[in-house]
Amino acid sequence: MVFLLTCSIYRFSINRALFLVNIKMELYLKESWSRIGISVSGGADSALLAYLICKNVSTTTEIHITSQIRCWRTRPWQEHFADGVIDWLKQKFNNKFYVHKNLVPPEMEEPNTTLIKDEYGKMKPGNRIILRSYNEFIANKYKLDALYAGVNMNPDIDIPGKVAERDEGHIAPHFVHNEVDICHPFVYTKKDWIIQQYYENNIVDLLNLTRSCEGEFEGLNYTTYTPGQHVPVCRECFWCKEREWAIEQAK
């Protein structure tokens, strides 16, 4: 059952399942779940999603975080931004956290990789196959009840470099795969609403730990970067411009 309400967040339960909804967001949580998986990238979307889940489950619920190490040669800082978000969550909530890290080889990243037929017969880039397969492996090994990802919708304005399929809800918000509930609660939600939740929930400190920029910088790579050092933002990539737009809208 789906409810669409014109409110910021409304909390209710049906058949012992918890829903947090707004006009374009549905967060499905089932009270009986004891082990939940969340993909955390270090970006604002997955960080907020992890916060909302942890805030609305029992402290006895295990939180399994999958963190993908990507572009380690050219953007080695991405791993450490994800670590910062995870550390914040561990300090904020009393759940048991389990962190599962996986490397995506640079050769498998778009646009370097060619399309490969996955085990379901679909032609996918290498990185997407790795992400999906690793999450399935973790779900199976640790007997997870659900897996969450914070994929969101494109802004109302046209920004070069966008992922075109995100102009519409291209993934079902909730479905069951291999007996695991797969949840994409932000698939119909734009980033301005996501950023607004940081202000409304008084967790701007968490927002400040996240990073959206996917720019690369001359002279700054795995051979020169030191964890914790300041890394500039390019302000040119789609992800920078989307974040800037969202913050402006939220204010």
Pull the structure tokens for residue 221.
């790579």
- Report CA 216 to chain centroid distance, whole Å: 21
Residue 42: closest CA among 204, 251, 233, 212: 212
Is residue 79 in some structural domain?
yes
Task: Give the pLDDT score at 12.
Answer: 43
Is residue 23 in some structural domain?
no
Cis preceding-peptide flag for 227 (omega within 30 of 0): no
Is 211:42 a contact under the CB 8 Å cutoff?
A: yes
Is residue 25 in some structural domain?
no
Is residue 21 in some structural domain?
no
Is residue 67 in some structural domain?
yes
What count of residues does the chain have?
251
**How far is Cα 214 from Cα 234, in angstroms, rounded to an integer?**
8
- How many domains does the chain contain in total? 1
Task: Give the pLDDT score at 163.
Answer: 86
Per-residue pLDDT for the chain (251 aa), expressed as one digit of tens each?
Answer: 333 323 344 444 445 555 554 445 778 899 899 999 999 999 999 999 999 999 999 999 999 999 999 999 999 999 999 999 999 999 999 999 999 999 999 999 888 788 999 999 999 999 999 999 999 999 999 999 999 999 999 998 999 989 888 888 778 889 999 999 999 999 989 999 999 999 999 999 999 999 999 999 999 999 999 999 999 999 999 999 999 999 999 87
Is residue 3 in some structural domain?
no
Task: Give the pLDDT score at 20.
Answer: 53
Containing domain of residue 204, as a range?
Answer: 34-250
**How far is Cα 59 from Cα 62, in angstroms, rounded to an integer?**
8
Full-model pTM: 0.89
Pairing type for strands 146-148 and 180-183 reads: parallel
Task: Give the pLDDT score at 21.
Answer: 46
Task: Give the pLDDT score at 8.
Answer: 42
Is residue 19 in some structural domain?
no
Is residue 14 in some structural domain?
no
Element (H, E) at 248: helix 238-250
CATH of the domain at 183: 3.40.50.620
